[in-house]
Amino acid sequence: MLTRELAQEIVKETMERLNRNINIMDTDGVIIASGDPERIGQRHEAAAEAVRLNRELIVDRHSSRRWRGTQQGINLPIHENGQAVGAIGITGDPQEVSAFGHLVKMTTELMIRQNQIKLQSEWKQMTADWIMEELLHSAKPDLPLIERRLMSLGLRLVPPYRVAAAAYRPSHEEPNFESLLAKATRTFAPDYVLMSQAGPQKLLILLPEADQGRTGRFISRLSVLLRSETGHYRIGISSPVADKAQLRIGSQEAELALRYGEAEQQEIVYFEAVETRALLHEIPEAHRQRLLDKLAACRSGKARETLTCFFECSLSIASASKKLGIHRNTLINRLEQIKALTGYDPQHFHDALVLQLALWLEPTERGSG
Cα 111 to Cα 319: distance, rounded to the nearest angstrom = 68
Q: What is the pLDDT of residue 97?
A: 87
Q: Assess whether 329 and 256 both reside in one domain.
A: no
Q: Please check whether residues 201 and 311 belong to one and the same domain.
A: no
Indicate if 171 and 270 belong to the same structural domain: yes
Radius of gyration of the CA atoms of the chain, in A: 33
**pLDDT at residue 69, rounded to an integer:** 72
Do 275 and 288 share a domain, yes or no? no
pLDDT for the residue 364: 43
pLDDT of residue 366: 41
Same structural domain for residues 340 and 225? no
Instruction: Give domain status of residue 61, yes or no.
Output: yes
Q: Are residues 75 and 102 in contact, defined by beta-carbon separation less than 8 angstroms?
A: no
Are residues 51 and 63 part of one domain?
A: yes
Q: What is the pLDDT along the chain (369 residues), one digit of tens a residue?
A: 788 899 999 999 888 888 889 999 999 999 999 999 999 999 999 999 999 999 999 998 888 778 877 788 999 999 998 899 999 999 888 888 888 888 889 989 998 999 888 888 899 999 999 999 999 999 899 999 999 999 998 888 899 999 999 999 877 654 455 688 988 988 887 667 899 999 889 999 999 999 989 999 999 999 999 999 887 999 999 999 999 989 999 999 999 999 888 877 899 999 998 888 877 777 888 888 888 888 888 888 899 999 999 999 999 999 999 999 999 999 999 999 999 999 999 999 999 999 998 888 875 444 433
Q: Indicate which CATH number applies to the domain containing 202.
A: 3.30.70.270
Pick from 243, 264, 280: which residue ends a domain?
A: 280
CATH number at residue 351: 1.10.10.2840
**163 and 261 in a common domain:** yes
The number of beta carbons lying within 10 Å of the beta carbon of residue 260 is 24
Q: Are 242 and 159 in contact (CB under 8 A)?
A: yes
What is the model's pLDDT at position 121? 87
166 within domain boundaries? yes
CA angle 215, 219, 223 (to 5 degrees): 175
Tell me, yes or no, if the pTM score tops 0.75. no
Q: What's the domain range around 214?
A: 157-280
Q: Domain containing 25 — which CATH number?
A: 3.30.450.40
What is the count of structural domains for the chain? 3
- Which stretches of the chain are assigned E, i.e. beta strand? 22-25, 31-34, 57-59, 73-80, 83-91, 162-170, 194-199, 202-207, 230-237, 268-270
Angle at 48 between CA 43 and CA 50, to 5 degrees: 140
